[in-house]
Structure 1
Amino acid sequence: MDLAMTLHPQFSLSAPVSMDSFAPPMITGTEPDAATEILFRALVDVCRRHAPELEAVLKGEADISQLTPELMGRALHAQGLWFRLLSIVEENTAMRRRRNVERTQGRAAVNGTFSHVLAEAVAAGVKADEIHALLNDMRIRPTLTAHPTEAKRVTVLEKLRRIYLILRELELPRWTERERNSLMAELRDQIELIWMTGELQLEKATVVREVSWGLHFFDESLFDTLPELVESLESSLAEYYPDETFEVPAFFQFGSWIGGDRDGNPFVTSSVTRTTLKRNGRASMRRFRARIVDLGKLLSITEQALPTPISFRKELTARLAASGDGEAIQARNPGEHFRQFQTCILRKLDATIERNKEEPVILPGPFYVDADELINDLRALEQGLTDAGCRSLATNQVRPVRRMVEIFRFSTVLLDIRENSTRTTNTLREMWAAVEGATPADAPDVESSAWRAWLTAELSKPRTTRRVLEGLSDEARETLATFALVGEMRTELDREAVGCFILSMTRSVNDILGVYLLAKEARIYLDSPGVEICQLPIVPLFETIEDLRAAPSIMKELLSIPLIRRSVRWQGGFHEVMIGYSDSNKDGGYFASNWELYKAQAKLTEVGQQAGVPIAFFHGRGGSVSRGGAPTARAIAAQPPGSIRRQYRVTDQGEVVSFKYSNRGTAAYQMELTAASIMEQVLRSKTEKQGSRPEFDDAMEALSGASRAIYIQLIQHPGLVEYFQNASPLDELALLNIGSRPARRFGARSLSDLRAIPWVFAWAQNRHIITGWYGIGSALQNFIEVRGEDGETLLKSMFEQSKPFRLILDEVEKTLRMVDLSVAREYSKLAPNAQTRDEIFALIEAEYALTCEMCLRVSGGGEIAFRYPAFRERLSERLPVINQVSREQVELLRRYRSETDEFKREETKSALLLSINCIAVGFGATG
């Protein structure tokens, strides 16, 4: 089939194409046709320049399995590039559709906007004081992670963004034919540059490179769009509550794990974390500097034209005196008091930037101790202009800069430190040995009362000086150095430079108390003796189903401890708990994972209410459905009643970051969608009936148990791991240099050796995708067989009324559309053991058919995912090419694993890795 016809049925490339003679169609309305045509013609033209033999591949007219590995790799690169270009069209089209709705129907008609939520709130009779209360406590923090799930290099991201911007330019009707041809030439150049840019990371990514990747999104979009989010909320509040004055705080900030996540990554050391914190700080400071320089150019207000308020004169006099160079500053801009004030700010900020380099340069004169000082200076400038009668200048020019500083401070993000309990416990054992004069092996069992007694005693002892612990291992010293760095950077750089400490593999209260002791050792306590209040939030992470079930009892005990209660009260009044989606899915399958996560949140919410310490949740979601990925608004709406208490954190990983934040329009919408959805959920929780439906909960429990039993039956098949390794590119994923974490445990002998990310990634590559649906068909069938007609009626009622159940089934159906068992069968043939292969594939094939049947029976649909025509259309545009690439990958895996010639093997490897990239880009998700 012609690829162009597959992607756009009205567009054919049967005739020769030349960009020189091609008059590009106008991009109008909300349909992607013209943009698709423009990009595909440009891509074909580039193909003809560099690899004319691949034009037939782009049109779907060639069998590239017959090509050499080198040509096959180039073909895969071209196909992957087309997927990226198609994603740009879809992003641009979605943006135009939202604008069209706003233009024709008003902002409130756009779902996911503040105006939409506030219009509904007013209609529902929500009073202004409820909005005030919500704003006072609302805190939202998406957190960027460095998990190895992103296949795009920064240099490619930059070029893709330029293509997006050119498409936007081409929408404008003002261009002459000459100007449009010039834009088209630039568009083709950018595509050509990506064509010639290596798609694969040739070297293992470093943590420093990952930090640069993360900061790229702030430089390109987030520094500017996030302050605009606050303005958007203020504007909507003014429209729907015109008689009220709202003070909107910096309610939306970003967190990050990049450079702070040392769980399983030995390359993240205290030294690397220090470098990360410094780089993060300089990134925001330099953006502030650029905006403040712009202010200086604007504020050319002379005293003769506008008398300076006395109060502002006093502020200026103080700043000039503190600068150490007041006379020169006055002489440079005589009579321009606001510009003089700006110069004092700029010089002080320059000194701060120099002091925070890796190799600090100490400039004479004052510097900012923290971001609060800069915020106060900007407030003074803002107030001075207001008092002088220039409120518009103060509001439109200075306030956005002040808001930017309030949001990003001297840290850009709040960097979390993550470590696992095994590492912290080993360090504590060595501390015990150093204090007791024994060996770590002699330490009490970490779950024993003796160990708890030691922890409690150490936490209660006043500590006024840092003690010297002899004989510690390098690993223990490194752990303690990390905690010491946290205290240092919170003081020297910014109080919000570090967000929290996340303890993965939390198994008990002792694990958490141990981290409080490590924080005490580093003197991260508010009181000098270190017995009252820990300043650093300690966040337990519960990941597996077993851990999720244990979480309520652990937190109940933890919140009864006075030290914890005092610390949480000082930190803001909420105790944060992180829950993981990936490992629970790997443990029990998709349905059981979602239900266990739901139950854990409901029980933890109740625990917090009983303890008088509200629990806020940090959702460790990945991009794919199997790792918790779901539409933002629906995922938030499907949380247990009362579990979102105006506090919300979620991880954005890899390809999710690129999708959400590469371009400003999309970034602005995604951030407003998240914030507006949180507001909507909180406001609705006040009016909607609270509490669960016992019959629904009972059904969910039964379905969860049945689906998990079927899932475990599959994964405990004695040949499953061997089948999985052979019938997927599991081992070969380790060759992709898309993350700094070591590629260990890919060559696994048991399921427990496998990390969740490659587990999901490889099942998606081989088109089985069992992580997003397996076991659910049997569970639904069993429920109906046991409960009969009443059971089926109940399931249909749940489909209409239960948000968590509906979300699960909707996402299952979307996943089922991505499965292709004819392609999966080709992968299965890579497994050499025919008996095992046939047994396992037969189980998957039967369960797939049953799941499709039962989902349609419950939903009443005529075809899978019929409720999502846009999703089906988007997928149908991609599947013909993805299926072709999948079959090519099977052939490449066969060649790569059997090839003995080292040169040919390396050549095949490059093509194989490109095929992995291409499929991931086509689906829009990796792990």
Structure 2
Amino acid sequence: MRNTDRKEKFRQIVENKFQIYNSLFMSLPYDKMSNIGMLLPFLYEESKEGYDAGKTPEEILENFFTNHTHLKTEEEKLDLLFKIIQYIERQVVLFDSIEDAAFPSLHSDSDAGTVQNIFERATQQNSLQQVREKLNQFGVKVVFTAHPTQFYPNSVQRILHDLKTQITADSITQIDLLLQQLGKTPFLNKEKPTPLDEAMSIIYYLRYIYYDTLGELFTEIKSIFKTDGFHLHEDLFQLGFWPGGDRDGNPFVTADITKKVAEELHLSILKSYYSHLKYVRRRLSFRGVSEILDQLSTKLYDAIFKEECDISAEDLISEIDKAEEILNTKHNGLFKNLLDNFRDRIRIFGTHFAGLDLRQDSRILQKTIDFIVSKYDQENLTENEKFNYLIENKPQINFENWEDNVIKDTLKTVSQIPEIQNKNGERGMNRFIISNAEAVKDVMNVLAFFKVCQFEDDAIKMDIIPLFETMEGLGNGESVMKELYENPIYKKHLERRGNQQTIMLGFSDGTKDGGYLKANWEIFTTKEKLTKISEEYGIKVIFFDGRGGPPARGGGKTHDFYASQGKTIANNKIELTIQGQTITSVFGNKEQAKFNFEQLLTAGIENDVFENSKKELSQEERHLFEKLAKSSFKKYSSLKANPLFVPYLQEMSTLEYYGKANIGSRPSKRGGSSELRFEDLRAIPFVGSWSQLKQNVPGFFGVGTALQQFKNEGKFNEIVELFKGSDFFKTLILNSMMSLSKSYFPLTSYMKKDKKYGDFWQILFDEYQLSKDLMLELTGFKTLMEEEPISQKSVEIREKIVLPLLSIQQYALIKIKENPENKEAFEKLVMRSLFGNINASRNSA
């Protein structure tokens, strides 16, 4: 389908439907929300026209109250604003549901990046065998995290799911009822969710979306590429899981929580098998076969509900094999495909469903090591000598009596790994990730913990994964891995792990630390160096990207990003984290999940099988990239060094409200100090605060300055050629354009008159304007995101929906500064407005 056709179809089945259902929504009788639907368009018009005329949010809201209401007291006005926020939140859900329902009509199985499309291309180019070979050695792993970037409670998630179903069926009566339910359903958590709450929320998706989606996609790929001797390996698609295992700075994640989440994952997959087996048994009612399946059903039931009973993946497959043998010999293999499909699910999901990763900050791990060696009067050792001492001596310790809970919990977490692996299988927990890794000792410290917990070498069935995320960490990556590969102790550990090393790279914190262009280029070149050094030492390296979703965090169009990386970067597996609104908007229902898992898989295949000169960078192009990154980094670093940088976020944005809202279980910054330091800021509240301001600094700042330098030198045409000739550079620019399209500086233009922050705001605006102008000139586009009309339209509609919400938020922030002794009500207004704005921030695939 051509872009013009897609755009017209989007207008018909998304934009028009939203207008129809929104008008229905506006007339429904909600408790305490009467007439809001009629007032909201007036607030939008006051906002749009007001910002165009240079008015402040305060002036816009006061005009709205004067021109369109009879309210006099501040209490009455606040009450109305809360109702408007509630209404807008529900508009966002309605638009989400309509857009989700339209997804299958806007995409087809033969679209670029689908499995069917790859098969057709491979057939035309006589490369089917290469694709099959790649499929057998490649894999995609999506790791779900609990980062709080999307705030729908489970009750609202279910309404969203049901709305999508009824919108697909055009059932006005049911839609009407669901919109009424939506109007009366709370959108807020009464209390902060616990790590277990967050885990259960995502396990819901595992059971009701990914179990079927990945199983059916696996079967489809087998069918499409079927030939004699072709078998797909079970790790083609993998799911990873962080809630309950990621204790990086989250004091609420404990060893007990980790164990509980592992149990819930185990029980959830057994429940999915039990449910699936019911369907299989309905068809396979034949003598000999049905008895085996009945017994298997009983065993699954007992494993779910009786503590003393359990079942392994091997046990399950063994019973299916027995049933299949009888089916083939006595019943002509009737419905054999049902057994094949069920067996494949067990091969994919084992008894773990998703692999639960452990993650901790390197500084916490070092603190634990320091404490242990101090118990043996060895605190004078260097950091390298400390881990060597513990690995060599394996001192027996009784950490149960120690006072420091974090240190005690670190060792308890390691000591219970065999128990979890025994129940969930080794794939259920086999990775320990070290945040802020910058040195060899950060990796070796983890190995030391296993020794302290009395693990024999063969019993350490865990991959130790450094996460390089700061500019310093990325810069050290090559030397750290070289030293590790040469370390005799770690070398033996890698041999036992099949000479395979996973390395994680943090786009989120990298972008926060180095700015958009520098971070992306640094990660690209770091991957190249790590690929080369790993090949030299005979190590199969896998890159795990902490990508998140929104472009400001290094996200953007995922297929294009991975398909553009070229031959100089190892392409053994695509692994990335997703969270929050990226889970619901990109993997939130079966159609979207299937499409986006396919996009990841085919991006990896494209890189190896299909030749494309635009993937490979020439030396001249690298020189241009380096110069752009350096110039951009210099500009971003000057902003970061500005003494007003952190105070601006503290005083003028919603940064501090992330920690106060009942959004997620973890604090909004690392460390326990009261002083807010840049390095302690977590990437999500950092990026989210810029997003709430509609300034999106991490997604563009420095790009305009870098492009301007080439223009000043009369070499802008070289960058134009780079854009035309490099898929990777083009992807970065298009992603940055999305950040620009979601920026709206008129919202905060009142800040330019602020005595303290006026000049700082002007710096941000000038770089935004420069970046926008030069990116349009570079691409030849007339408007931002011109090549992506559907995403462009979706962003446009969403920005229109939330503009009144943003006006209310800025109005409340202004009121808090004007009248700090009466700030409580306005602070609630700020926190409440966080939700709707971020829930609307999709378009980050």
TM-score (norm 2): 0.90
* 1:911 maps to 2:838: no
Residues in 2 aligned to 1:39 and 1:748: alpha-carbon distance in whole angstroms = 48
Which residue matches 2:779? Answer: 859
Q: Is the 8 A contact 2:365 2:446 kept in 1?
A: yes
Percent of aligned pairs sharing the same letter: 22
* 1:677 maps to 2:603: yes
Q: Is the 8 A contact 1:623 1:629 kept in 2?
A: yes
Which residue matches 2:52? Answer: none
Residues in 1 aligned to 2:103 and 2:304: alpha-carbon distance in whole angstroms = 39
* 1:430 maps to 2:365: no
Q: Is 669-678 or 208-217 further displaced after alignment?
A: 669-678
| SS of equivalent to 1:795 | helix
State the AA in 2 paired with 1:923: S
Shift in Å, 1:34: 5.0
Q: Which has the larger radius of gyration?
A: 1
Shift in Å, 1:822: 1.1
Which residue matches 1:97? Answer: 106
Q: Is the 8 A contact 2:383 2:441 kept in 1?
A: yes
* 1:492 maps to 2:427: no
* 1:79 maps to 2:88: yes
Which residue matches 1:307? Answer: none
Q: Which has the higher contact order (CA 8 A, sep 6+)?
A: 2
Q: Residue 555 of structure 1: which of 481, 496, 499 is its match?
A: 481
Which residue matches 2:545? Answer: 619
Residues in 2 aligned to 1:118 and 1:771: alpha-carbon distance in whole angstroms = 38
TM-score (norm 1): 0.83
Shift in Å, 1:270: 0.4
Residues in 2 aligned to 1:926 and 1:863: alpha-carbon distance in whole angstroms = 19
Shift in Å, 1:691: 5.5
| SS of equivalent to 2:832 | helix
Shift in Å, 1:114: 0.8
Q: Residue 337 of structure 1: which of 280, 288, 299 is its match?
A: 288
Q: Residue 529 of structure 2: which of 603, 623, 630 is its match?
A: 603
State the AA in 2 paired with 1:206: T
* 1:451 maps to 2:433: no
Residues in 2 aligned to 1:803 and 1:153: alpha-carbon distance in whole angstroms = 39
* 1:407 maps to 2:355: no
State the AA in 1 paired with 2:253: V
Per-residue CA deviations over 1:676-735 (Å, capped at 9, x if unaligned) read: 2222223236x8698631111111111111111111112211222222222211112222
| SS of equivalent to 1:760 | helix
Which residue matches 1:120? Answer: 121
Q: Is 769-778 or 35-44 further displaced after alignment?
A: 35-44
Q: Is the 8 A contact 1:289 1:346 kept in 2?
A: yes
Which residue matches 1:17? Answer: none
Residues in 2 aligned to 1:670 and 1:387: alpha-carbon distance in whole angstroms = 40
Per-residue CA deviations over 1:736-780 (Å, capped at 9, x if unaligned) read: 211110244697544234222111111110111111111111111
State the AA in 2 paired with 1:696: E
Which residue matches 2:279? Answer: 294
Residues in 2 aligned to 1:127 and 1:882: alpha-carbon distance in whole angstroms = 48
Residues 131, 849 of structure 1: alpha-carbon distance in 2 compared, 3 angstrom cutoff: closer
Which residue matches 2:225? Answer: 237
Shift in Å, 1:884: 2.5
* 1:769 maps to 2:778: no
Which residue matches 1:782? Answer: 709
Which residue matches 1:308? Answer: none
Q: Residue 715 of structure 1: which of 631, 635, 640 is its match?
A: 640
Q: Is 118-127 or 155-164 further displaced after alignment?
A: 118-127
State the AA in 2 paired with 1:922: A
State the AA in 2 paired with 1:83: V
Q: Residue 695 of structure 1: which of 610, 620, 642 is its match?
A: 620
Gaps of 5+ in 1: 1-8, 11-26, 100-106, 171-182, 302-335, 525-529
| SS of equivalent to 1:151 | coil
Q: Is the 8 A contact 2:399 2:411 kept in 1?
A: no
Q: Is 275-284 or 512-521 further displaced after alignment?
A: 512-521
State the AA in 2 paired with 1:878: R
Shift in Å, 1:145: 0.3
Which residue matches 2:243? Answer: 258
Which residue matches 1:509? Answer: 440
Per-residue CA deviations over 1:881-921 (Å, capped at 9, x if unaligned) read: 3333212211112234555677xx54433332222222212
| SS of equivalent to 1:774 | coil
| SS of equivalent to 1:52 | coil
Which residue matches 2:747? Answer: 823
Q: Is the 8 A contact 1:237 1:246 kept in 2?
A: no
Per-residue CA deviations over 1:136-186 (Å, capped at 9, x if unaligned) read: 32221100001121211111100100000111222xxxxxxxxxxxx3222
Q: Is the 8 A contact 2:390 2:448 kept in 1?
A: yes
Q: Is 615-624 or 35-44 further displaced after alignment?
A: 35-44
Per-residue CA deviations over 1:585-623 (Å, capped at 9, x if unaligned) read: 111211111111111111111111111102110000122
Shift in Å, 1:264: 0.3
Q: Is the 8 A contact 1:892 1:912 kept in 2?
A: yes
Q: Is 158-167 or 498-507 further displaced after alignment?
A: 498-507
| SS of equivalent to 2:467 | strand
Residues in 1 aligned to 2:231 and 2:422: alpha-carbon distance in whole angstroms = 32
Residues 716, 839 of structure 1: alpha-carbon distance in 2 compared, 3 angstrom cutoff: same
Which residue matches 2:681? Answer: 754
* 1:418 maps to 2:359: yes
State the AA in 2 paired with 1:112: G
State the AA in 2 paired with 1:188: D
Aligned residue runs from structure 1 range 174-213, under 5 A = 183-213=171-201
State the AA in 1 paired with 2:373: W
Shift in Å, 1:844: 1.6
Which residue matches 1:387? Answer: 329
Q: Is the 8 A contact 2:751 2:757 kept in 1?
A: no
Q: Residue 664 of structure 1: which of 590, 603, 611 is its match?
A: 590
Which residue matches 2:36? Answer: 54
Per-residue CA deviations over 1:539-571 (Å, capped at 9, x if unaligned) read: 000010110010011011111234434433443
Residues in 2 aligned to 1:926 and 1:757: alpha-carbon distance in whole angstroms = 14
Residues 758, 611 of structure 1: alpha-carbon distance in 2 compared, 3 angstrom cutoff: same
Residues 122, 747 of structure 1: alpha-carbon distance in 2 compared, 3 angstrom cutoff: farther
Shift in Å, 1:513: 1.1
State the AA in 1 paired with 2:123: V
Residues 812, 747 of structure 1: alpha-carbon distance in 2 compared, 3 angstrom cutoff: farther
| SS of equivalent to 2:786 | coil
Shift in Å, 1:514: 1.4
Aligned residue runs from structure 1 range 460-479, under 5 A = 468=398, 472-474=402-404, 475-479=406-410
Matched residue count: 809
Root-mean-square deviation (Å): 2.7
State the AA in 2 paired with 1:880: K
Gaps of 5+ in 2: 1-6, 47-60, 66-75
Per-residue CA deviations over 1:372-416 (Å, capped at 9, x if unaligned) read: 221222232233312334434111x22222222222221111000
* 1:70 maps to 2:69: no
Residues in 2 aligned to 1:29 and 1:477: alpha-carbon distance in whole angstroms = 58
Per-residue CA deviations over 1:839-898 (Å, capped at 9, x if unaligned) read: 112212222222122212222223333223223222222333333321221111223455
Q: Is the 8 A contact 1:262 1:268 kept in 2?
A: yes
Shift in Å, 1:626: 1.3
Per-residue CA deviations over 1:106-146 (Å, capped at 9, x if unaligned) read: x4x32221111122122223252x33432332221100001
Q: Is the 8 A contact 2:143 2:241 kept in 1?
A: yes
Residues 218, 627 of structure 1: alpha-carbon distance in 2 compared, 3 angstrom cutoff: same
